[in-house]
Amino acid sequence: MKKSTLVIGVIGADCHAVGNKVLDRVFTACDFRVINLGVMVSQDEYIDAAIETGADAIVVSSIYGHGDIDCLGLRERCIERGVGEILLYVGGNLVVGKHDFAEVESTFKTMGFDRVFSPSHDLADVCQLIAKDINNKLTNFRSQSEEVV
């Protein structure tokens, strides 16, 4: 069975590399194929890599608190580029200042992200949730394809 492919990286002008390396190792250990773009990644770099690799999901990290600005319009850009249905995830310290996480999560879900992870979210759980989402999407795609035939 083919491994699910994740495109990961740290968005915008954020150069925090340590968490990105941790995510790479954890996702790899959880049997994902990881395309790690590193730090200071633009929206189009994520999308280019997703298209080139046939990725199942894009996982955006932001630590410096400007994720709300850097991620704005990413889903729309995916749609424009022909990968509008790709799973989008975001996590980290996404906004400057202290905010209720439910408010932060709502903001990013409104932007089109499928899941939003707090900085303290258990990474084993993150892997399980992403694997479940990818499996559900593939199962739904297969059943829709069978209905068309």
Residues tagged active-site? 14, 16
Distance CA 51, CA 120 (A): 30
Distance CA 46, CA 11 (A): 9
DSSP assigned state of 95: B
The span from the first CA to the last CA of the chain, in angstroms, equals 24
Cβ neighbours of 137 (radius 10 Å): 17
DSSP assigned state of 3: P
The bridge status of strand 5-10 relative to strand 33-36 is: parallel
